[in-house]
Structure 1
Amino acid sequence: MITLASDFGTPYPAAMRGVICQRTDARIEDIAHDFPRQNVRTAAFWLTQTLPYFPPAVHCVVVDPGVGTDRDAVVVRADDHALVAPDNGVVLPAARELADTVEVFTWAYDDPASSTFHGRDVFAPAAAAVHDAGVDALGDLDRTTPTDDYADLRFPTAETDDDGATGEVLVVDGFGNVVTNIPGSVLEGRFGDTVRVDGESVPVRRAYAALDPGERLVTVGSHGNVELAVNRGRGDEAFGVGVGDPVSLSL
């Protein structure tokens, strides 16, 4: 299997699929092509939430603000998965979710036909080649070179203590739910109570519908982190926060 993920929208991913189909008979699955444009960190977060649910595969990810520059292409081996991407850290958090230890290789590519569409001309052919060679053979391919010099990406860690936590907004999903980096464990034993978010009292509930429509709540999302939400509304608007903003939680 080869999975595809990008910020391309449509129709660009179709060209990538076509290139892959010319080179291999791999099954192709789309993860998403509507990641926020050129937002490496947001794409990286959602990849951590999706790729671990796939069987062994080659994951081709293209969110590439540096397209056309001298940034490298990399292939990351994570157990029996391989992740093909630009060298900007976009796949490193997901790779660490897939394996305790990861190996990074640079991928040598020929001059692409376009300096603006490496998804089609560089990464799709690389994904097909890695798929056909097999993940175990990565170190033996002519185009791969092991490297310790690569762009890394790690999410910031929240500060927690007995009185609460201080963190930041990692992403806002399509529903407007605000995903923070505060671990959900800080709310253990507090469902049904209230906490203070940036100084304002907010109920803690397990489900959005536990409150009336339009009511704000604090919960733990499927990602395991503290989430600020509104039943049938947008948490980002109700709490007045966006990606990267600080969040203070007082118990």
Structure 2
Amino acid sequence: MLTLSSDFGTPYPAAMKGVLLSKTDARLVDVSHDFPRQDVRTAAFWLREVLPYFPSSVHLVVVDPGVGTDRAALVVRAGDHAFVGPDNGVLVPAARRLADGGDIAAFAIEDGDAESSTFHGRDVFAPAAAAVHEAGIENIADLDRCTPVDDIEEFRFSDPEYRDDAIAGEVLVVDGFGNAITNVPGRVLKGRFGGTVAVNGESIRVARSYAHVEPGERLVTVGSHENVELAVNRGRGERDFGVAVGDTVRLSFE
């Protein structure tokens, strides 16, 4: 299986698929081509949450604001998965999760003969992903255009700060429903469902799911990613809580 993820929208992913289909008979699966443009952080978060549900695969990821610069092109091996994409950190959180505590191995891809300086998804990453698929993930080191590298760009999400009976967290991403997903682990709400928590000084109900409060009502819950999120039943949490990606969220327990 070979997955594709990008911020390209349409029609650019079709060109990558054309290249892949000319070089491999791998089953192609789109993860998303609607990641926010040039937003490495959001793409890294969702890939970390989604890709572990796939069987052994090659994951082609192109969210690449540095295309055409001297940033490296990478293949990263993590367990029985491989990632192909830019060296800007977008691959790392998912790769580390799929490595399950083991090491990841990175290889630089030679890209000197790319036809375009603005579309490495088509000209560099897609051919490399096809080559990895055809060679086998365990044989990446044998590919002619792949050179082992020790230093790659890391991307790590911030950790919350714990202060007595309060936690200072951060909004990591906002999903398509408007849920503001924080870096606060959901375990802090254990035993608090049905009660309240103060969010930036306002008392908000803690609920197991959106429908446990009235339509239009705000709530604090634990999402499928196991993080605390700020939401509104049939509404948008980021709007009604007045938060955006990167904002601080202070939780205090009443």
* Secondary structure of 1:42 counterpart: helix
Tell me which amino acid in the other structure corresponds to 1:103.
A
Write the distance in 2 (CA, Å) between the matches of 1:182 and 1:160.
Answer: 10
The CA deviation string for residues 18-54 of structure 1, in whole angstroms up to 9 with x for no partner, is: 0000001111000000000000010000001110000
1:169 and 2:171 matched? yes
Who is 1:5 aligned against?
Answer: 5
Contact 1:16 1:120 in 2 (8 A): yes
The CA deviation at 1:241 is: 0.3
Write the distance in 2 (CA, Å) between the matches of 1:88 and 1:166.
Answer: 27
The CA deviation string for residues 145-196 of structure 1, in whole angstroms up to 9 with x for no partner, is: 1111211100001112551311100000000000000000111110000000
Who is 2:230 aligned against?
Answer: 228
* Secondary structure of 1:51 counterpart: helix
Write the distance in 2 (CA, Å) between the matches of 1:212 and 1:162.
Answer: 32
Q: Bigger shift: 111-120 or 241-250?
A: 111-120
Who is 2:77 aligned against?
Answer: 77
* Secondary structure of 2:96 counterpart: helix
Contact 1:164 1:186 in 2 (8 A): no
* Secondary structure of 2:13 counterpart: helix
1:215 and 2:217 matched? yes
Write the distance in 2 (CA, Å) between the matches of 1:84 and 1:58.
Answer: 7
Tell me which amino acid in the other structure corresponds to 1:167.
G
Tell me which amino acid in the other structure corresponds to 1:42.
T
Who is 1:117 aligned against?
Answer: 119
Who is 1:63 aligned against?
Answer: 63
The CA deviation at 1:108 is: 1.2
* Secondary structure of 2:168 counterpart: strand
Tell me which amino acid in the other structure corresponds to 2:208.
R
Write the distance in 1 (CA, Å) between the matches of 2:56 and 2:28.
Answer: 13
Q: Which runs of 5+ in 1 are unaligned?
A: none
Write the distance in 2 (CA, Å) between the matches of 1:94 and 1:70.
Answer: 23
Who is 1:50 aligned against?
Answer: 50
Tell me which amino acid in the other structure corresponds to 2:10.
T
Identity over aligned pairs, percent: 68
TM-score, L = length of structure 1: 0.98
1:187 and 2:189 matched? yes
TM-score, L = length of structure 2: 0.97
Q: Report the number of matched residues.
A: 251
The CA deviation string for residues 76-96 of structure 1, in whole angstroms up to 9 with x for no partner, is: 100110000101010100001
Write the distance in 1 (CA, Å) between the matches of 2:231 and 2:200.
Answer: 14
Tell me which amino acid in the other structure corresponds to 1:8.
F
Who is 2:32 aligned against?
Answer: 32
Tell me which amino acid in the other structure corresponds to 2:220.
V
Tell me which amino acid in the other structure corresponds to 2:176.
G
Who is 2:86 aligned against?
Answer: 86
The CA deviation string for residues 114-161 of structure 1, in whole angstroms up to 9 with x for no partner, is: 111111011000100000011111112211111112111000011125
Who is 1:105 aligned against?
Answer: 107
Q: Could you list the runs of 4 or more consecutive aligned residues of structure 1 that deviate by over 6 angstroms after TM superposition?
A: none
Contact 1:193 1:204 in 2 (8 A): yes
Contact 1:195 1:204 in 2 (8 A): yes
Contact 1:19 1:120 in 2 (8 A): yes
